Amino acid sequence: MYKCKYFTIQELVPPETYEVYGERLWYYFDQNVLKAMDMLRQYFGPCTVNNWSYNHTGETFRYRGYRPYTYSGGSPLSAHRCFKAADSHFKNAHPQEVRDYLIESNGLAGIVKRIEDDVNWVHIDTIDFGSDELIVFKP
């Protein structure tokens, strides 16, 4: 089991999920998405996935890692629903800079399978559609 160097499990799941399952949630996450998050954090510096509390704009981030089926937003077939995705904001890097790096590295040498384009955050996931190339998709 891979356990992140830079993230706690609370940063990757919503509070209601953590309350029930706690640290056992590490076992459910796709190991490659965790490794990719650590690699991006090491290269680009601090980033936020979930924060569970309101930020300066009044937003709260609770569902940008795992999304339970009780969450009404997003696609029912989202990679977030099966512990295979994360959305993040990097403190010192623009989302396009991170996407360009992912494209140049072919998804960190194949670890990341898909990224989302034309959004103001960085979405990575490990859903494998059988391509050896990184898939860039639009929302």
Total Cβ atoms within 10 A of residue 12: 23
Mean local confidence (pLDDT), 123-127: 98
Task: Return phi, psi of residue 75, to 5°.
Answer: -75, 140
d(CA 98, CA 42): 12
Q: What angle do CA 107, 50, 115 make, to 5 degrees?
A: 20
For the stretch 35-55, pLDDT in tens is 999 999 999 999 999 998 765
Could you tell me the pLDDT band of residue 23, with boundaries at 50, 70 and 90?
Answer: very high
For the stretch 62-73, pLDDT in tens is 999 999 999 988
Comparing 56 with 124, which gets the higher pLDDT? Answer: 124
d(CA 134, CA 117): 12
Whether the full predicted model's pTM is greater than 0.85, yes or no, is: yes
Q: Which domains does the chain have, with CATH numbers?
A: 9-137 (3.30.1380)
d(CA 55, CA 116): 24
Over the range 98-115, which residues count as b (16 or more CB within 10 Å of their CB) and which as e? bbeebeeeebbeebbbbb
Task: Return phi, psi of residue 36, to 5°.
Answer: -65, -40
